[in-house]
Structure 1
Amino acid sequence: MLAAGTFALTKLITVDQDYWHGWTLYEILWYAPQHNWSAYEEALKTNPVLAKMVISGVVYSVGDWIAQELIPFQDWWVVPVKVAFDQTVWAAIWNSIYFTVLGFLRFESLISIFSELKATFLPMLTAGWKLWPFAHLVTYGVIPVEQRLLWVDCVELIWVTILSTYSNEKSEARISEAPAEANSSSSDTGPLEK
């Protein structure tokens, strides 16, 4: 994990290293995210499984590192605090990122993405509260440290299935509503034109 994280961070930071000569810090900070996104899309095209594995590993490693640094104690109360942090702050961030990225990948407008985010935020947070607290109590209370990533990845498979199903249902509902709205608006204007 350390090697994958170091490799990913190095690639992220040095994506434009060949062009930096003469660039200001502002230019580096402005273009690096754009070029990293392009590099990520290219990696998804050329080697999608490896790219997704590295991203997943880095995200879980960073999240675990943050949790270890913020709450490093081994007392009994640490597990509920970690679960509460994970299911409030962390879940809100990642659910928002998930639905925002899906919206961009569907080429939706910012207004549409924001509307879907508002509509899905609380239901998905609530759905997470039904799954993750139990899963993390097992993670932090029962599973040995060296097996935690495997356990969480297995639960993550269930969670991504829930997110994807919910997102697809919302998307299909939106698609089926669009023709109905178009028909009602055309029938409303029809008699006026005659």
Structure 2
Amino acid sequence: MFFRWYSARLAARPLLTQSVTTAVLFATGDITAQQLVQKRGFENHDLTRTGRMALYGGFVFGPAATTWFGFLSRNVNVRNKRLETVARVACDQLIFAPVMIGVFLSSMATMEGASAKERLDKTYWPALSTNWMVWPFVQMINFTFLPLQHRVLFANVISIGWNSYLSWVNSQ
């Protein structure tokens, strides 16, 4: 029932639906980081931090990922489907991931009133290198088995754990 409702929203307003979904799941990732990883307890939960993650997910990452996946689908096309998947993953990991990790870290620093340069100097390479240990495999699955309209949702569900990591890295 939920999946049918979600698919209808996705068909009617894809960018809005993917952006709202991303905001909710980015917030979920931060809640996971604070409660399960950092074990802060609900009385010490930083709601502002969760709000920043939701804001970034909904207004930056959701629209960017939706647009990016559409771009890859339209422009990276090869007759050999396995090679096409590898080419899309390579583009994703060598173009999109490095840019978006930088955008994430600098956006969070700016929203926190901290130095974006210092945050990037301290956390960019560890975050990107960890990304490359996780996301190529995830995107191989995503680009091989999921239709375009469900790729952002799949990435966002996997991102609950990834965003927990990014939220934790960002807070260090």
Aligned residues: 127
2:96 is aligned, of 90, 95, 106, to 90
Match of 1:79 in 2: 85
List gaps (5 residues or longer) in structure 2: 1-9, 17-50
Aligned residues with identical type, % of pairs: 17
Match of 1:155 in 2: 158
Q: Deviations over 1:69-106 (max 9, x none)?
A: 33033522111111111112111111111111111111
Match of 1:180 in 2: none
1:65 is aligned, of 70, 78, 81, to 70
Asked if the contact 2:105/2:124 (under 8 Å) is kept, the reply is: no
From the superposition, tell whether residues 144 and 3 of structure 1 become closer, same or farther in structure 2 (CA, over 3 Å): closer
Match of 1:164 in 2: 167
- Normalising to structure 1: TM-score of the pair? 0.55
Q: Which has the higher contact order (CA 8 A, sep 6+)?
A: 2
Asked if the contact 2:73/2:148 (under 8 Å) is kept, the reply is: no
SS of 1:69's partner is helix
Two-structure CA RMSD over aligned residues (Å): 3.0
- Normalising to structure 2: TM-score of the pair? 0.62
Give yes or no for the alignment of 1:113 onto 2:112.
no
Asked if the contact 2:85/2:143 (under 8 Å) is kept, the reply is: yes
Distance in 2 (alpha carbons) for counterparts of 1:70 and 1:117: 31
Amino acid at match of 1:5: L
Out of 139-148 and 58-67, give the one that drifted further: 139-148
Give the deviation of 1:52 after TM superposition. 5.3
List gaps (5 residues or longer) in structure 1: 7-43, 170-194
Runs of 4+ aligned structure 1 residues displaced above 6 Å come to 48-51
**Structure of higher CA gyration radius:** 1
From the superposition, tell whether residues 142 and 5 of structure 1 become closer, same or farther in structure 2 (CA, over 3 Å): closer
